[in-house]
Amino acid sequence: MSLYFDPRDRELNSKMQALQPTPGYCIVVDIVGSTAVKDSSVQDWAVFIHNAFQYTLSFLSSSFVPLKSIGDCLMFFISQDRMLANHETALHFFSGLCRVAAAEDPLFSDVKISAVFCQHAYEITFIPGTEDVYGKDIDLTMRLLAKAGSREILMNEGFVQQVRGDYAVAANPDQYREVQRIVGPWPEAMKGFVDPVLIYKLPRLLPGTG
């Protein structure tokens, strides 16, 4: 459960001091071209967004429960403990994201994706009764998304290390050939970050290649 930041809580200070980061994976999937679609009727573009969200979820495992939607994006946060409990790996996550990026369906818009392995993420919320997560690694996920192109996946070094580590011991590596297409790293300045961030990319996936 996310810690609710309640200024009226007399134990808030001790709860905040005890709050520890939650290692995990933050992933954002953004619908490309969704603003132009809103020139049509609300019925049409609401169906468009609904279909895109549902289609995205259909390619992902049950561990991918959206934390929230932000405009035309779905944000996911999966803790490392939960991933291990479900016997899943970063390689599984990456493979699912590749299928989303390369999906071929006339009813499904192109998407762009960012994925970050988080070491500085805190399960805290400012709205009672809701789950949320904050931290610089969460911010980094959104920064990477802004730099991604259609059908691309942008990742931080931590995420790629996790994926490659799983790939190195995979019993069926031929099922995960997209790992070999990851390019990078290259350093890039990011707003709010003192040091350049190392970025990796899975270049544009063509329909049916994921």
Contact 163, 41 (CB under 8 A): no
User: Taking CA 53 as the corner, what is the angle to CA 48 and CA 56, rounded to the nearest 5 degrees?
Assistant: 125
Average of per-residue pLDDT values in the chain: 90
Any bridge partners for residue 202, and if so which? 153
Q: Does residue 13 lie in a domain region?
A: no
Token output for 151:
């059908």
Has residue 3 been placed in a domain? no
Q: Is 197 a domain residue?
A: yes
Residues 6+ apart with CB under 8 A from 46: none
In this prediction, residue 63 has a pLDDT band, given cuts at 50, 70 and 90, of confident
| Domain assignment of residue 118, yes or no | yes
Task: Give pLDDT, residue 89.
Answer: 92
Say if 207 falls within a structural domain: no
User: Domain with 173 in it: what CATH number?
Assistant: 3.30.70.1230
In which domain, by residue range, is 171 found? 19-202
In a domain, 156, yes or no: yes
Distance CA 16, CA 108 (A): 42
Q: What is the pLDDT of residues 149-190, one digit of tens each?
A: 999 999 999 999 999 999 999 999 999 999 999 999 999 999
Instruction: Using pLDDT thresholds of 50, 70 and 90, give the confidence band for residue 59.
Output: confident
Look up residue 70 and give its DSSP letter: E
Find out whether 116 and 144 touch, Cβ atoms under 8 Å.
yes
Structure tokens of 169? 């011991």
Task: Place 33 in a pLDDT band, splitting at 50, 70 and 90.
Answer: confident
pLDDT at 103 over 80: no
Q: Is 49 a member of any domain?
A: yes
Number of domains, the chain: 1
pTM: 0.91
Task: Write down the pLDDT at residue 35.
Answer: 79
* 121 occurs within a structural domain: yes
pLDDT at 66: 87
- pLDDT exceeds 60 at position 207: no
